[in-house]
Amino acid sequence: MREYLLTLCVAAAVTYLLTGPVRKFAIAAGAMPEIRDRDVHREPTPRLGGIAMFGGLCAGLLVAAHLTNLKSVFELSNEPRALLSGAGLIWLLGVLDDKWGVDALIKLGAQMIAAGVMVLQGLTVLWLPIPGKGIVALTPVQSTLLTVALVVITINAVNFVDGLDGLASGMVCIAAIAFFMYAYRIWYGYGIEAAAPATLFSAILIGMCLGFLPHNLHPARIFMGDSGSMLIGLVLASGAISITGQTDPDAITNLTGSTRDTTHFMVPVYMPLVLPLTLIAIPAADLVLAIVRRTWNGQSPFAADRGHLHHRLLDIGHSHSRAVWIMYFWSALIAFGAVAFSVNSSSLWIVLGIVMLSAMGLSALLMPRFRPRAPRWAEAFVPPRYRRTQVEAAQEAHDAAAATIAAGEAPGVNGATALSARSLVDAGRGSGSRP
């Protein structure tokens, strides 16, 4: 665990430190497109944040290759090299798109080429755990087609959701944390060494997202652009493909005692291949809805619009930050719910917990105008949007004074206190502090 944490911290530190210089480079290079109708930011913001994230990926892999335990991943498997090859191609495509723009069909073709490069180097799906049937081996053609489809779908799912400050990086970070917990349990809990690459990929991805988030939170100083969104989508897909395609289910069967238990245990990995990723179910759902919506309206599925889930949250009255946190909540609920299901699929508490959290999420969706306020003693430690304004503070003083006056009319209440409260009420009325 210490080596994974070290790799995570290195990836986060390198990404964080590179983002500042990359921002200056993006401004100098003119990678600051004009505001579009579907954009939610008010001022032109530099892109190319994916350059810093790619630096974090390279640094994480470089450090891991020299650590005592993790270097075996590079000696026994070609998957880290496959990931770096595909990531390099997709990152270069994203940089070109952020600066000059690339046609949607060309981007789709390049994404398929990057996925194909990884397949040629061994990063592919070899079998699927089918519930009720067991393990089904795939032919080379089926394996290649499924792997390419998963990579392309995941890349575009993350790219589609990258519409609010900090949204894509935060959601992918949540998914990577959940996936790291699952992969680490298979690696060290069951002793399946083939899960080590996926665990490493997840740790590095967490570091990349955490290092970039401070620069990308609202109001963002830099966007990751396609060079970043496609990159983290590819890394996330690579982890799911690795743990599904390289983890031998028979090794788990020897520990669980039955093929059925193994199949249920592998369901959280199988589910990402169908949905396509439970860990990023929200971006995947957004992707499907966008394709259906645009096709229904007679538009190209790749035509940008303002109908994504995060845009709808803004349209019904949620603030920018609140919309992002709501998307974070649902992503975490689905991702960690899948991991909890893999640990104990028959637990009633897991089901009840998910139901209660879902109810809380629905309540938050139905209260777009609700603005929580921190207690007065905590206002110095929270962002300004959670503090009381001067008008709200004056109104509270007015209400408290009115209550004191009403109590002063009762026997036994100090008349001076009531007189003082009355003067506060009069002052509040004169200052126009009513909401």
Write out the binding residues for Mg(2+): 159, 226
Contact of 238 with 245, CB cutoff 8 Å: no
Q: Terminal CA-to-CA distance of the chain, rounded, Å?
A: 54
- To which H or E segment does residue 417 belong? helix 415-430
What type of residue sits at position 435?
Answer: P
Residue 128 dihedral angles phi and psi, to the nearest 5°: -130, 135
The token pair at 11 is 């990836």
In angstroms, the CA 377 to CA 362 distance is 30
Q: Please, what's the largest Cα pairwise distance for the chain?
A: 90
Token match 């890349």: residue?
Answer: 155
Token match 């996925």: residue?
Answer: 115
* Per-position DSSP letters for 298-357, written without gaps between them: T--TT---S-SHHHHHHHTT--HHHHHHHHHHHHHHHHHHHHHHHH-TT-HHHHHHHHHH
The token pair at 433 is 């502090």
H helices present in 162-258, as ranges: 167-184, 196-216, 225-246, 249-256
> How far, rounded to the nearest angstrom, does the alpha carbon of residue 367 sit from its chain's CA centroid?
23
In angstroms, the CA 158 to CA 282 distance is 9
Residues making up the annotated binding site are 159, 226
In angstroms, the CA 421 to CA 417 distance is 6
The token pair at 1 is 């665990």
Q: How many residues does the chain have?
A: 435
Pairing, β 127-130 against β 134-137: antiparallel
In angstroms, the CA 115 to CA 110 distance is 9
Contact of 179 with 236, CB cutoff 8 Å: yes
What type of residue sits at position 287?
Answer: L
Burial (CB count within 10 angstroms: exposed 0-12, middle 13-18, buried 19+), residue 227: buried
Contact of 26 with 222, CB cutoff 8 Å: yes
